Amino acid sequence: MTERDITGRTRIYGILADPIHHVKTPEVMNALFARHGVDGVLVPFHVTADGLATLLSGLRRMENFGGFIATVPHKTAMLDLCDVAEPEARLIGAVNCVRREPGGSMTGAMLDGIGFVEGLRAAGYDPAERSVYLAGAGGAAKAIAFALAGAGIARIAIANRSRDKAEALGAALAAARPDLPVSVAGFSPEGEDLVINATSLGMRPDDPPPLDLGALQADQVVAEVIMDPERTPLLKAAAARGCRTQPGRPMLASQIELMARHMRAIS
Amino acid sequence: MTERDITGRTRIYGILADPIHHVKTPEVMNALFARHGVDGVLVPFHVTADGLATLLSGLRRMENFGGFIATVPHKTAMLDLCDVAEPEARLIGAVNCVRREPGGSMTGAMLDGIGFVEGLRAAGYDPAERSVYLAGAGGAAKAIAFALAGAGIARIAIANRSRDKAEALGAALAAARPDLPVSVAGFSPEGEDLVINATSLGMRPDDPPPLDLGALQADQVVAEVIMDPERTPLLKAAAARGCRTQPGRPMLASQIELMARHMRAIS
């Protein structure tokens, strides 16, 4: 998409965030559009929480608008603003990608967790039938937990500093998937096949570890949601102990494709 | 503006139209942005007349939105939707360019006529003190008449197929500029310095001429608002009679700069 390529026929896509300046989605999505020959462009829309509903009403009337990605702080609010939400989004209570239907109706999806699972699969690892240790019980953890449940894992153990949040996520998961064994775990990931950090611990150099690094075993797969730094202390420790590791960035690449597909920019 | 250049920091500008697919402004404005090193991108927003007010409310809440160009069929409706309109826009009763102020207030301007006058000046012709024959009394003619009045012409004669529209424009002009001699003219432009076609006659091969081509004289300057075809039958006839001619396209180039300046994309 060069300047000459944006014409009156180009479809518009957006990313809604506050703040906006740090988002990387325009570069990544526009590169994907270029690779697929899509006559579309994704542009940043900076909107605060109290302007979100009004902007959304306006975007319903933009006939050549294909949809948008919602990120911080809009994911939770978007669920109620959509006309239709996919089951995964309703379960998680958040939306991060919205398709504008002809006529202006908005269909929301939550692709954070599915992007994570697709990233694992793209790296050749299928989480089906595996046991999972999940560190974290916030938004990212919730999305990943539901996506893993949908991907057919054998069981999941959730660990969180405030235990009541882990219990709440476990209860929500058990309610949605009564046949999935769910438990609350402590600091050690011992004995589980797939070990996931879905907390923000590891972004800063002086963060404590999100789980007991000393308990990692060589037959475990260790996955990270943090994208920056690319090699977190957890991933370094896991690699040193002979574990297979999965960094956070492939999740983004997988998710961008899922988003483009949800917005029907690509098929 | 290449795909890599659209980032979270890029400011957004729009063109609002219905239909949208034929607009050329994205190409022209984005090329101007590139020449001036502006980190901005202009994209097409397709909106129908009954969606305009709602979209505008939404755009007020888009914090990184710099403004937009309004074209068919939105120019008249935009006047009342703006919070502030420049004097020229109020006189003409239409707005074709809107700046979004920080906080969301919208300031409208009407630059069609000023763009036409700037195009003449850029070609080395100053209409000050000249007598003008203006064919047409629609939106384009109105904008040009008021801009010429502001540029200090000596007098203006307005010709139109339906004479009452010419009289109405003449009366509006006389009310705004009591010292400007205004008259209603017939089919012949004889005796005026500057002859302008502001009708759409000449766009199609079988259109009748907008004025009496046989009355053109070598000392006249003949200007056209039609951009496509670039050389209309009027311009060809004028050139054959030794007149200096001014095609419609330079008006667009001048106007694009005025628009970029009104939206504060360039200074």
Amino acid letter, residue A128: A
Q: Judge whether A94 and A113 are in contact, CB under 8 Å.
A: no
Per-residue model confidence as pLDDT tens digits over B82-140: 999 999 999 999 999 999 999 999 999 999 999 999 999 999 999 999 999 999 999 89
Interface contact flag, B33 A6, Cβ < 8 Å = no
Per-residue model confidence as pLDDT tens digits over B187-243: 999 999 999 999 999 999 999 999 999 999 999 999 999 988 999 999 999 999 999
Interface contact flag, B44 A12, Cβ < 8 Å = yes
Helical pair B139-150 and B112-122, crossing angle rounded to 10 deg: 60
CA A218 – CA A58 distance, rounded (Å): 53
Q: For residue B251, which of B194, B209, B213, B198 has the smallest C-alpha distance?
A: B198
Per-residue model confidence (pLDDT) at position B250? 79
Longest dimension (CA), chain A: 58
Chain B residue whose CA is closest to A5: B27
Interface contact flag, A47 B31, Cβ < 8 Å = no
pLDDT band at B3 (very low <50, low <70, confident <90, very high): very low
CB neighbour class for B126 (10 Å; exposed up to 12, middle 13-18, buried from 19): exposed
Sheet holding A65-70, edge to edge: A40-46, A11-17, A65-70, A97-100, A106-109, A84-85
How many other β-carbons are positioned within 10 Å of the β-carbon of residue B162?
Answer: 9
How many other β-carbons are positioned within 10 Å of the β-carbon of residue B102?
Answer: 6
HSE-up (13 A, CA, CB side) for residue A60: 19
Strand partners of residue B43: B14
What value of ipTM does the predicted structure carry? 0.87
| Interface subset of A 54-93, CB within 8 angstroms of B | 54-65
Judge whether A28 is closer than 8 Å to chain B, CB to CB: no
Tokens matching residue B136: 């047409």
Q: Judge whether A244 and A125 are in contact, CB under 8 Å.
A: yes
Per-residue model confidence (pLDDT) at position A253? 83
Task: State the average pLDDT over residues B148-156.
Answer: 97
Interface contact flag, B55 A42, Cβ < 8 Å = no
Tokens matching residue B223: 């200007």
Helical pair A112-122 and A249-262, crossing angle rounded to 10 deg: 120
Which residue reads 């009366």 in tokens? B171
Which of B30, B48, B62 has its CB closest to that of A55? B62
Which of B26, B33, B62 has its CB closest to that of A8? B26
Tokens matching residue A179: 């046949």
Contacts with A20 (C-beta within 8 Å, 6 or more apart), sequence order: A44, A45, A46, B8, B9, B63, B64
Judge whether A23 is closer than 8 Å to chain B, CB to CB: yes
Per-residue model confidence (pLDDT) at position A181? 98
Instruction: Work out the minimum CA distance from A66 to partner chain B, whole angstroms.
Output: 11
Task: State the average pLDDT over residues B244-265.
Answer: 92
Per-residue model confidence (pLDDT) at position B1? 47
Instruction: Work out the minimum CA distance from A36 to partner chain B, whole angstroms.
Output: 13
Instruction: Work out the minimum CA distance from A57 to partner chain B, whole angstroms.
Output: 6
Chain B residue whose CA is closest to A18: B63
Q: Judge whether B233 and B224 are in contact, CB under 8 Å.
A: no
CA B196 – CA B232 distance, rounded (Å): 13
Tokens matching residue A124: 């050749």
Judge whether B12 is closer than 8 Å to chain A, CB to CB: yes
Per-residue model confidence as pLDDT tens digits over B23-59: 989 999 999 999 999 999 999 999 999 999 999 999 9
Helical pair B52-60 and A52-60, crossing angle rounded to 10 deg: 150
Per-residue model confidence (pLDDT) at position A250? 78
Per-residue model confidence (pLDDT) at position B4? 43
pLDDT in tens, chain A (267 residues): 444 489 999 999 999 999 999 898 999 999 999 999 999 999 999 999 999 999 999 999 999 999 999 998 999 999 999 999 999 999 999 999 999 999 999 999 999 999 999 999 999 999 999 999 999 999 899 999 999 999 999 999 999 999 999 999 999 999 999 999 999 999 999 999 999 999 999 999 999 999 999 999 999 999 999 988 999 999 999 999 999 999 998 778 889 999 999 999 999
| Stated pTM of the model | 0.88
Instruction: Work out the minimum CA distance from B12 to partner chain A, whole angstroms.
Output: 8
Judge whether A43 is closer than 8 Å to chain B, CB to CB: yes
Residue B137 dihedral angles phi and psi, to the nearest 5°: -140, 20
Report the catalytic residues of A: 75
CA A150 – CA A173 distance, rounded (Å): 11
Pairing mode of beta strands A244-246, B40-46: unpaired
Which positions in chain B touch A44 (Cβ < 8 Å)? 6-10, 12, 64
Query: Hey, of B2, B33, B61, which one would you mutate to test binding to chain A, going by the most A CBs within 10 A of its CB?
Result: B61
pLDDT band at B254 (very low <50, low <70, confident <90, very high): confident
Which of B1, B8, B22 has its CB closest to that of A3? B1
What sign has the CA pseudo-torsion B127, B128, B130, B133? positive
Instruction: Work out the minimum CA distance from B152 to partner chain A, whole angstroms.
Output: 37
HSE-up (13 A, CA, CB side) for residue A127: 33
Judge whether A120 is closer than 8 Å to chain B, CB to CB: no
Contacts with B171 (C-beta within 8 Å, 6 or more apart), sequence order: none
Interface contact flag, A9 B1, Cβ < 8 Å = no
CA B16 – CA B42 distance, rounded (Å): 11
Judge whether B37 is closer than 8 Å to chain A, CB to CB: no
Which positions in chain B touch A102 (Cβ < 8 Å)? none
Q: Judge whether B113 and B174 are in contact, CB under 8 Å.
A: no
| Interface subset of B 167-206, CB within 8 angstroms of A | none
Judge whether A13 is closer than 8 Å to chain B, CB to CB: no
Pairing mode of beta strands A97-100, A84-85: unpaired
CA B199 – CA B225 distance, rounded (Å): 8
